[in-house]
Amino acid sequence: MTDRRFWPANGRVAHESLAARVKGVDLTDGQIRRIGVPVADLFAAPGGARDKQMLFGHAFNVLEERNGWAFGFDVVDNYVGYLRSDHLHDMPESTHRVIARSSHIYTLDDIKSPDRTPLSHFSELAVVAETDEFVELTTGGFVPVQHVAPLSWRAEDPATEAERYLGTPYLWGGNSAWGIDCSGLVQMAFYAAGRACPRDSDLQAKAWSDVEGPLQRGDLMFWKGHVGMMLDDTRLLHANAFHMAVAVEPLDRARERIAAKDFGEITRMARP
């Protein structure tokens, strides 16, 4: 059975990679465009349920544009879906990314100048020049130099990156500093460390080996439909609907509460 999250075809068009598997549709390699708004929802269908979010500067391979919607896939995790066409812009290739929890694009190289666009952690930017205080963007505007790093930058510890999101509101399908869900938190933490990570918890649960020995920082706890990250052998960090935020709590307490709800008992402990 095909997984629609990774099936780049919609009955009218399909990616060239499916040439031997689909018939009666237009085949295309697509066109790379980039997110031109702070955060864009990726939907399973136009106007349907949100699957995930993409951030400013992230690349999306557009296979079709129709009635104000763009069908295609995120070029990093290959997640397929629909974005609003007006959320996509023709932008230069990214050179830097935001490494702070959030930032702003300012009109001038002055923190007192009007801010133009809010930026979430891991947004991507095309930088044309750099001073001691700002980077200047190819598309116009300035971002504080303390908040950015070249695309080659890698965080040392995914758990430290996940802790950046403490207090962030819980949002189903969220991937930003303004709203995030359990698997989105894990994905963003591993992205910052330069490691591939699927978007959804069912896929994350299959991605790594089982924990061997005592729990340690960075281990992942899985329930049916939920995931959290250990900060040490007793404390769990997770975006959850009980707190409606990213929060830290004792694993034993979380385990007892979750077991009484729909998620039940822990299904897997993994060590990325």
State the DSSP string of 112-166: TSPEEEEEETT-EE-EEEE-SSEEEETTS-EEEGGGEEETT---S-HHHHHHTTT
User: Helix, strand, coil % (nearest 5) of the chain?
Assistant: 15, 40, 45
How many Å apart are CA 175 and CA 135, to the nearest integer?
24
pTM for the model stands at: 0.96
For residue 59, what pLDDT is reported? Answer: 98
- Residue where the block lists tokens 């490494």: 99
pLDDT value of position 62: 98
What gap in Å lies between CA 238 and CA 248, rounded to an integer? 7
Residue type, 6: F
> Which of these, 111, 100, 159, 120, lies nearest to 35 by C-alpha position?
120
Per-residue tens of pLDDT for the chain, all 272 residues: 799 999 999 999 999 999 999 999 999 999 999 999 999 999 999 999 999 999 999 999 999 999 999 999 999 999 999 999 999 999 999 999 999 999 999 999 999 999 999 999 999 999 999 999 999 999 999 999 999 999 999 999 999 999 999 999 999 999 999 999 999 999 999 999 999 999 999 999 999 999 999 999 999 999 999 999 999 999 999 999 999 999 999 999 999 999 998 789 999 999 99
CA distance 47 to 123: 24
Q: Which pLDDT score is estimated for 262?
A: 75
Domains and CATH numbers, the chain: 4-89 (2.30.30.40), 96-150 (2.30.30.40), 158-271 (3.90.1720.10)
Largest CA distance in the chain: 57
Token pair 């500067």 is at which residue? 57
pLDDT of residue 263: 80
